[in-house]
């Protein structure tokens, strides 16, 4: 009996984790694992996570950290034997650019949403009307019928008013997915917000943590452990290490090979997976590709797959600078600066920068005497101006904007531009139904879907979805009734 075969299409963190689980996961390598092949279109594995050498540092070009309170990423790091490389974030809080000046973000935010009117007292630049909205939410909350789902914007604007929605909430929550709060689904992006809105009373009270509210950047010691982790070798090195250990487990990794079709096979295997030059037979296929690619590859089998083309993607650019400490003054606390969309710059033009991350303040392994490493985030779902700029033009533009946003920023001695076109799926209202239908159909067909398009864009969610897809594959080929090897 031929050995069972699973093909994984897409070698980002989700696809790599599917292979890790298939090859035995924590207890691997497993003798009865199927033959596993990962087919990746680009020359490099890792997708949206990658590191590079820059000004004497190893920096991340994409994700630079992951949530600590979800277990998937920290567990994986331990399984790889890399627990000693986990590095806790070493700063908390952030600044907000509000009415032409930097102010501290309020303490006790729930994913960007204030949880008390009093926390806004020290936020300079907020109007009295915004403060009044917050007080009114605590005392006489607006009722809102959210039905099955609503946009984050609809909930926050109704409960807390436009100013808090666009000047405080959107810069953080919209920034995570490079999207707009008026488009993003509360149910899929921030279910606790939907629950809070459904409770019918004060949004802020309903979102308040049960324990003590984090009192802000100067008082980290009262929080329960770090909020985020990175790796001392950069988040991107997680993909590199997975590739190394997967090769040792006998997984076949094929870079620079774009899958063009997933066909029903006629012979012993269920599927034939085609690239331009090869065909790989498979009993089971895991699609760890962006939703529109998955849609193209599977649309002939069911309209639920075809509908995945409706998951829109936003692109973003990251421009990282190294600057001498003598040429910059940073705010005294915090991991960076958030910039509300549409912030006026020169003439009728608005800033392209949506956030700045102080990389060396967040991650101790990047700290050096005499220099600062920071990166500017550029682009939102409805602001892709950066796509029309050359790297040099983008560098110059962002550098000029940093001069405006950060006191004394000047003469960066190194910079690097990283573009991530179509990297961040936007979970719009109805996203859960698209996912549910496609998943139902995938079970029937003998394929599994995983990746940032389905269960959350963060790295822990992607790891979890890759591993879950692998468990489905193992269950399916076991059900088929033959031994795995």
Residue whose CB is less far from ligand FAD, 197 or 229: 229
Sole binder of ligand FAD in the list 126, 316, 356, 477 (CB under 6 A): 316
320 binds ligand FAD (CB under 6 A): no
282 binds ligand FAD (CB under 6 A): no
Residue whose CB is less far from ligand FAD, 88 or 144: 88
Tell me the closest approach of the beta carbon of residue 385 to ligand FAD, in angstroms: 17
CA distance 283 to 270: 5
CA distance 238 to 234: 8
Tell me the closest approach of the beta carbon of residue 21 to ligand FAD, in angstroms: 14
Residue whose CB is less far from ligand FAD, 42 or 127: 42
41 binds ligand FAD (CB under 6 A): yes
Over the window 10 to 39, marking each residue x when it contacts ligand FAD by CB under 6 A and - when it does not, the resulting string is xxxxxx-----------------------x
In order of 36, 64, 398, 416, the CA distances from 391 in angstroms are: 38, 21, 11, 9
Pairing of strands 353-358, 259-264: unpaired
CB 429 within 8 A of CB 445: no
Residue whose CB is less far from ligand FAD, 163 or 360: 360
CA distance 51 to 74: 19
336 binds ligand FAD (CB under 6 A): no
Site stretch for ligand FAD (CB under 6 A), options 8-16, 102-110, 139-147, 340-348: 8-16
DSSP string, 232-291: TT-THHHHHHHHHHHHHTT-EEE-S--EEEEEE-SSSSSEEEEESS-EEEESEEEE-S-H
Residue whose CB is less far from ligand FAD, 198 or 254: 254
Residue bearing tokens 């005294």 = 332
| Residue spans of alpha helices (H) in 110-170 | 128-139, 152-160, 162-164
Residue whose CB is less far from ligand FAD, 289 or 320: 289
CA distance 336 to 354: 11
Site stretch for ligand FAD (CB under 6 A), options 63-71, 278-286, 360-368, 389-397: 63-71
Crossing angle, helix 459-479 and helix 71-79, to 10 degrees?
Answer: 70
Distance of CA 166 to the CA centre of its chain: 21
Site stretch for ligand FAD (CB under 6 A), options 44-52, 324-332, 359-367, 439-447: 44-52
Q: Is 2 helix (H, G, I), strand (E, B) or coil?
A: coil
Over the window 377 to 416, marking each residue x when it contacts ligand FAD by CB under 6 A and - when it does not, the resulting string is ----------------------------------------
Q: Is 227 helix (H, G, I), strand (E, B) or coil?
A: coil
CA distance 123 to 361: 22
Residue bearing tokens 């666009």 = 166
Sole binder of ligand FAD in the list 7, 37, 59, 62 (CB under 6 A): 62
**Nearest Cα to Cα of residue 301 among 438, 470, 472:** 438
- Tell me the helices (H) and strands (E) count for the chain, helix number first: 16, 20
**Nearest Cα to Cα of residue 137 among 153, 116, 152, 151:** 116
Over the window 230 to 269, marking each residue x when it contacts ligand FAD by CB under 6 A and - when it does not, the resulting string is ----------------------------xx----------
| Sites for ligand FAD among residues 347-376 (CB under 6 A) | none
Tell me the closest approach of the beta carbon of residue 372 to ligand FAD, in angstroms: 19
Sole binder of ligand FAD in the list 153, 226, 290, 336 (CB under 6 A): 290
Site stretch for ligand FAD (CB under 6 A), options 89-97, 328-336, 450-458, 477-485: 450-458
CA distance 210 to 184: 26
Sole binder of ligand FAD in the list 149, 458, 464, 472 (CB under 6 A): 458
Q: How many CB atoms lie within 10 A of CB 125?
A: 14
Site stretch for ligand FAD (CB under 6 A), options 101-109, 149-157, 390-398, 419-427: 419-427
Site stretch for ligand FAD (CB under 6 A), options 159-167, 245-253, 289-297, 467-475: 289-297
Tell me the closest approach of the beta carbon of residue 186 to ligand FAD, in angstroms: 19
CA distance 64 to 356: 13
CA distance 49 to 214: 30
189 binds ligand FAD (CB under 6 A): no
Residue whose CB is less far from ligand FAD, 254 or 302: 254
**Nearest Cα to Cα of residue 466 among 137, 174, 124, 238:** 238
Sole binder of ligand FAD in the list 54, 66, 284, 427 (CB under 6 A): 66
* Contact residues for ligand FAD, defined by CB under 6 A: 9-15, 39-42, 47-49, 62-66, 258-259, 288-290, 293, 316, 318, 420, 423-424, 451-452, 457-459, 462
């Amino acid at each position: 009996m031929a050995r069972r075969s699973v093909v994984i299409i897409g070698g980002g963190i989700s696809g790599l984790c599917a292979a890790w689980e298939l090859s035995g996961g924590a207890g691997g390598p497993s003798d009865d694992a199927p033959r596993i092949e990962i087919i990746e279109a680009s020359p490099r594995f890792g997708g949206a996570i990658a590191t590079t050498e820059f000004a004497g540092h190893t920096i991340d070009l994409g994700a630079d950290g992951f949530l600590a309170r979800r277990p998937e990423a920290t567990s994986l790091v331990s399984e790889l034997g890399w627990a000693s490389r986990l590095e806790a974030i070493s700063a908390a809080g952030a600044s907000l650019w509000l009415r032409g000046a930097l102010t501290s973000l309020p303490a006790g935010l729930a994913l960007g949403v204030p949880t008390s009117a009093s926390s806004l007292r020290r936020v300079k630049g907020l109007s009295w009307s915004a403060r009044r909205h917050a007080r009114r939410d605590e005392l006489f909350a607006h009722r809102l019928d959210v039905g099955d789902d609503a946009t984050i914007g609809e909930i926050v604007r109704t409960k807390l008013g436009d100013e808090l929605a666009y000047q405080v909430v959107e810069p953080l929550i919209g920034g995570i997915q490079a999207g707009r709060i008026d488009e993003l689904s509360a149910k899929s992006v921030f279910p606790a917000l939907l629950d809070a809105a459904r409770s019918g009373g004060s949004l802020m009270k309903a979102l308040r943590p049960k324990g003590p509210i984090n009192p802000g950047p100067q008082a980290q010691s009262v929080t329960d452990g770090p909020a985020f982790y990175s790796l001392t070798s950069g988040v991107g090195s997680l993909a590199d290490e997975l590739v190394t250990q997967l090769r040792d487990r006998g997984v076949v990794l094929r870079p620079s090979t774009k899958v063009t079709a997933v066909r029903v096979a006629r012979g012993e295997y269920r599927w034939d997976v085609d690239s331009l030059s090869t065909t790989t037979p498979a009993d089971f296929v895991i699609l760890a590709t962006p939703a529109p690619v998955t849609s193209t590859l599977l649309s002939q089998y069911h309209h639920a797959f075809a509908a995945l083309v409706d998951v829109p993607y936003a692109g973003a650019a990251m421009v990282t600078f190294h600057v001498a400490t003598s040429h910059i003054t940073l705010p005294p606390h915090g991991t960076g600066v958030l910039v509300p969309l549409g912030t006026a710059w020169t003439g009728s033009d608005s800033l392209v920068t949506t956030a700045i991350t102080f990389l060396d303040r967040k991650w101790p392994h990047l700290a050096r005497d005499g220099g600062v490493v920071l990166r500017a985030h550029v682009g939102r779902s409805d602001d892709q101006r950066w796509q029309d700029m050359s790297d040099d033009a983008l560098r110059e533009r962002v550098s000029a904007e940093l001069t405006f946003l950060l006191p004394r920023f000047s003469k960066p001695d190194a910079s690097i531009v990283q573009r991530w076109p179509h990297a961040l799926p936007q979970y719009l209202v109805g996203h859960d139904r698209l996912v549910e239908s496609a998943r139902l159909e995938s079970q029937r067909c003998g394929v599994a879907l995983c990746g940032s398009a389905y269960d959350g864009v963060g790295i822990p969610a992607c790891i979890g979805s890759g591993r879950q897809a692998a468990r489905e594959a193992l269950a399916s080929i076991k059900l088929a009734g033959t031994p795995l090897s």
